[in-house]
Structure 1
């Protein structure tokens, strides 16, 4: 477990001006190179639960954490497809690293929709300079995930935050921690809390069997002060027409698509060196008809998820250009399609990897199980069965899907 003092020291000593990416093509080029670099040590990180502080610093310094900043504020404002491809690349290399910036981009999207111009100028500039945002959204002790108990209390020149959050992915690596809070009237806000704020406690207690190095621990707030200018509306992003929900979900889908592709490609490598099954009467496992049939099914599913991801990203970008109830619904449904499909594909591809690799595939040193563990834990974010329900209700009855971050 990493100490709070170590986490604080990391944030303070590693904040420096980052590279500023200018285009989609540059973003993809940098992501391709950097993700391959991270892949080299992914098995060791997962096995020993080595938190990727150095990797995340390189990731944000590359400029990739600022690629969604709008052009008018100095960013590249890349397409949703590019964002999805970047996340998929890193998720294929290391599922944990692929997930860490997801909430950062999510917070920036909320800011784009509900922040004031002054707030956008200041916070976007921080990100362009290399700042990382984590998250403190979910709560563990409420009746449902929709209920929140972390409060925003008026104070001199700002507010005080009291409460506790869990599954705070990325907060261990962050300079600010966007925190979902409610005021006395029940309205929800997103407070961009400075990580060195007095009364803020980061606890490295994430113990999930997958996504082991996302740093998704607990964050406690004991009368933590936040300035008024660091608080923006949150619930209005879903009451009004906005792409916050679809944008959040397409990033989750990209994580699973990346894991699925990586698992499938590793399956091909393992089958090429596997021993043939004794009843097949063949010289190489690559000639086994049953293995080939299984590979054909996985290959088809992986490609289908990738195509659904591309279609969904284009729908999100189209809705961004002309946002109305119908374009928002189409984007939401298209994203739900890939999210539901990628859930099943990532689990299937990662399971088939171990099956087709044979008994050798179970060796801890190879870490082949990390793909399945990462996929299984990540797919617990949302229930794919409910996505299929909303898709069916839309295509048959014309019922528009709900506007929230889980669809």
Structure 2
């Protein structure tokens, strides 16, 4: 029974596709260059972040700059002409971008995850074809999750076989990045109930993307509805995603580590803005007997605590990246479980520090920090929205089962 309850009344407001880039994207050549490019882009993205959030301005030129910079192909394997940077570096890149604008950081997540999945499950012909697209600057969007299914892994979207192509029908929501993508990977089931990525052209007949994302945070991730009405996808672009979870692979941990990096980015931005506000605008409390807010012992303790917790999350994020590197090169039950566990630990800490830092900002900075002109509420809204992606209470359960009972985490994109 179909229980999808997403609003489709706005189908007439479908967003047209955007053109592919006219020039090929730059190709990053080292981990060091990847970080340098991310820092340069972040310095530009942060300038309009508050305005984009306030007015829900689509980050069109920012996304073009991001993908054309080469940062969207950094996990393409060297054997196919890509940089194949460490996943510790990839996570740091996402954190840097997310500290400037967490919506832009999140938009890259599913693209990078699909690139990783192609490496894991595609045959040589498909890898060469799709990696070449990524290296040119083609952006993957996302049409994975569905609005009203009982569980996140329950999909109603299906495809039927028509020889050299398949026909996809269904409806999606939380489709981060689909509005401004060039290709849209669709999670669809075959007649055996196996999940594939059917990668459709953004302007394919029957593929409708609606701008109906109304969350109070991550407002410009453009994560709205995708309607699929008999969408034709060539089999060259039909990726057997299910194979990435039939046996131990790093695919799930890769999707997860990018989520962690978005949250550490939000936390860092909130802490940096708190420090700047306390230094330049906050007043010492009347009973403190102090001249400057920066000398308040309670503020000093809180800043020290938040910074420590952020550094702990970042350290686990780096360790998770290196663990994923090992699991990619030598996938087995042990290496994959270790990557999942360290990533889960990082996910817990990043969630907790992102929420704590964005909440504590106002307590430490004072009433003046709530004024609209400062736009600091976006950090809390973004943290509260993004950290709901998958609940950390289940991460604690995964850790307990692993350390107490020797039970490896489940194999899926949320673990």
- Within the alignment, does 1:314 sit opposite 2:305 as a pair? no
TM-score (norm 2): 0.95
Residues 104-124 of structure 1, C-alpha deviation per residue, up to 9 Å, x if partnerless?
001111111111111110111
Runs (4+) off by over 4 Å: 1-6
CA displacement at 1:312 relative to structure 2: 1.0
- Within the alignment, does 1:240 sit opposite 2:286 as a pair? no
Write the mapping of 1:27-38 to structure 2, written as runs, cut at 5 A: 27-38=34-45
Residues 28-47 of structure 1, C-alpha deviation per residue, up to 9 Å, x if partnerless?
11111011110011111000
- Determine if contact 1:81/1:314 at 8 Å carries over to the other structure: yes
Q: Which residue is equivalent to 2:6?
A: none
Q: Which residue is equivalent to 1:194?
A: 201
Q: Which residue is equivalent to 1:161?
A: 168
Range that drifts further, 169-178 or 232-241 = 232-241
C-alpha distance in 2 between matches for 1:3 and 1:169:
20
Q: Which residue is equivalent to 1:181?
A: 188
- Within the alignment, does 1:283 sit opposite 2:288 as a pair? no
| Aligned-pair Cα RMSD in Å | 1.4
* Equivalent position to 1:130, from 123, 137, 147: 137
CA displacement at 1:354 relative to structure 2: 1.6
C-alpha distance in 2 between matches for 1:94 and 1:33:
13
- Determine if contact 1:4/1:201 at 8 Å carries over to the other structure: no
What is the number of residues matched between the two proteins? 405
Residues 272-303 of structure 1, C-alpha deviation per residue, up to 9 Å, x if partnerless?
12101111111111111111111121111111
C-alpha distance in 2 between matches for 1:293 and 1:2:
52
- Within the alignment, does 1:103 sit opposite 2:110 as a pair? yes
* Equivalent position to 2:235, from 224, 228, 231: 228
C-alpha distance in 2 between matches for 1:219 and 1:5:
9
Q: Which residue is equivalent to 2:178?
A: 171
CA displacement at 1:7 relative to structure 2: 3.4
C-alpha distance in 2 between matches for 1:165 and 1:2:
13
C-alpha distance in 1 between matches for 2:197 and 2:247:
16
C-alpha distance in 2 between matches for 1:311 and 1:68:
17
Write the mapping of 1:300-339 to structure 2, written as runs, cut at 5 A: 300-339=308-347
Q: Which residue is equivalent to 1:25?
A: 32
Alpha-carbon distance change, 4 to 112 in structure 1, aligned in 2, over 3 angstroms: farther
2:19 alignment partner, SS class = helix
C-alpha distance in 1 between matches for 2:368 and 2:338:
45
- Within the alignment, does 1:7 sit opposite 2:28 as a pair? no
* Equivalent position to 2:155, from 134, 148, 157: 148
1:7 alignment partner, SS class = coil
Alpha-carbon distance change, 373 to 15 in structure 1, aligned in 2, over 3 angstroms: farther
- Determine if contact 2:250/2:336 at 8 Å carries over to the other structure: yes
Q: Which residue is equivalent to 1:405?
A: 413
C-alpha distance in 2 between matches for 1:341 and 1:391:
13
CA displacement at 1:184 relative to structure 2: 1.9
C-alpha distance in 1 between matches for 2:12 and 2:274:
38
Residues 114-149 of structure 1, C-alpha deviation per residue, up to 9 Å, x if partnerless?
111111101110111110000100001212111100
Q: Which residue is equivalent to 1:271?
A: 278
CA displacement at 1:165 relative to structure 2: 0.2
Residues 251-274 of structure 1, C-alpha deviation per residue, up to 9 Å, x if partnerless?
100000111111111111111121
C-alpha distance in 2 between matches for 1:252 and 1:75:
23
* Equivalent position to 2:387, from 332, 357, 379: 379
Q: Which residue is equivalent to 1:340?
A: 348
Q: Which residue is equivalent to 2:146?
A: 139
C-alpha distance in 2 between matches for 1:262 and 1:219:
31
Residues 167-226 of structure 1, C-alpha deviation per residue, up to 9 Å, x if partnerless?
000111111000000112211111111111101101011001000001101100000101
C-alpha distance in 2 between matches for 1:96 and 1:369:
15
- In structure 1, runs of 5+ residues without a counterpart are none
Range that drifts further, 285-294 or 160-169 = 285-294
- In structure 2, runs of 5+ residues without a counterpart are 1-9
CA displacement at 1:322 relative to structure 2: 2.5
C-alpha distance in 2 between matches for 1:294 and 1:14:
46
- Within the alignment, does 1:367 sit opposite 2:375 as a pair? yes
TM-score (norm 1): 0.97
